[in-house]
Amino acid sequence: MTRFIIVRLLQSFVALIGISVLIFLLVRASGDPTMLYRTSMSTEEDIARIRANLGLDKPLPEQYWIFITDLAQGDLGESLLGQRRPVTEMIWERLDNSLLLAVPAFLLSMIVALLLGVLGAVKRDTWMDNGVKFVAILGQALPGFWLAIMCILLFSVYWQIFPPSHMGDFSHYVLPVSTMAFFLLPGMLRLVRSSMLDVLDSEYIKMARIKGLPERIVIWKHALRNALIAPLTAAGMILAMLVTGTVVTEQVFAWPGVGMLMLDALFSRDFPVVQGIVLMVAAMVLLVNLLVDILYAYIEPQIRYQQM
């Protein structure tokens, strides 16, 4: 088990280094950030001084080395705009706002996915199962930004039930949380349903029914517990979907979170902020996948022996 964990840690570290190189090159290929400082009165000497102040006059390998050594010390750099604030500080002050949307949306989508997924699997090939599959397909077909805009038009403009944007009391959370939950629901729903179908067809479930156990005990105690292994292994994918939904939702609902901060940084070519957010998200996804792999290997010892 120790060897398995060490191998997974090394793989995650290599993946994070690769991601850091990729995002470092991509953000610099998007354009010259000194364009933000240029005016009609700017001279070449002014631009050269700005590039030197931002550290952009150095070769790319040297820029990356400075970036990675600062990163090893927990320093994500400074924003290129405004008062040159530390990127870490900018992310932390927005992270709470994003979590206020992401956590309730994740819990809501998980609860609904469990209920509908189990219902669809138990009532296989009935109108209930067809309804569950329709919800999953519909959720995957509808773009998240379109759904958010439609919610604003219906519930804020026409019916005037909920406020359209910004943070506030509980009513301000209803539309963005519901939109993000619906964005996450299809993937979770399909995972739970397909996993539940596989478990219900297994021999030990058939044996439990032959022994006369009540159906609710068979479904909710024995089948569901084993059916949750597949959604658990997809936790990294679910987290990535959650980040995507956060970016879209925050932008449409003008929610001051990390997703909106990243989009603003992209449009303004503030690449230290973009780098910091992408690396933070990548590290979170890798950490979740690492923990899931370790947990899964602990549950199924055969997995760790196959992958050594």
Question: Do residues 292 and 232 touch, judged by C-beta distance below 8 A?
Answer: yes
More confident residue, 80 or 18: 18
Q: Answer yes or no: do 8 and 55 share one domain.
A: yes
pLDDT for 248-287, tens place per residue?
888 888 888 888 888 888 887 788 888 888 888 888 888 8
Residues 179 and 249 in one domain: yes
Q: What domain range includes position 127? A: 91-267
Residue 162: inside a domain = yes
Mean predicted lDDT score pLDDT of the chain: 81
Q: Are residues 275 and 263 in the same domain?
A: no
* Same-domain check for residues 234 and 98: yes
Q: Is the same domain home to 245 and 98?
A: yes
Does 252 fall in a domain?
Answer: yes
In a domain, 302, yes or no: yes
| Residues 283 and 135 placed together within one structural domain of the fold | no
Instruction: Look at residue 16 and tell me if it is in a domain.
Output: yes
User: What pTM, to 2 d.p., does this model score?
Assistant: 0.77
| 108 and 177 co-located in one domain | yes
Q: What is the pLDDT of residue 40?
A: 62
Q: What is the mean pLDDT of residues 171-183?
A: 87
Is 86 inside any structural domain?
Answer: no
CATH code of 113's domain = 1.10.3720.10
Do 194 and 278 sit in the same domain of this protein?
no
Do 234 and 120 fall within a single domain? yes
Is 41 a member of any domain? Answer: yes
User: How many folded domains does the chain comprise?
Assistant: 2
| pLDDT of 94 | 87
Tell whether 24 and 117 lie within a shared domain. no
| pLDDT value of residue 235 | 66
Q: Place 300 in a pLDDT band, splitting at 50, 70 and 90.
A: low
Which tens digit of pLDDT belongs to each residue from 9-31? Answer: 888 888 888 888 888 888 777 66
CA dist 166 and 176 (Å) reads 10
> Same domain for 220 and 136?
yes
Distance between CA 163 and CA 146 in Å, rounded? 18
Q: Does 260 share its domain with 117?
A: yes
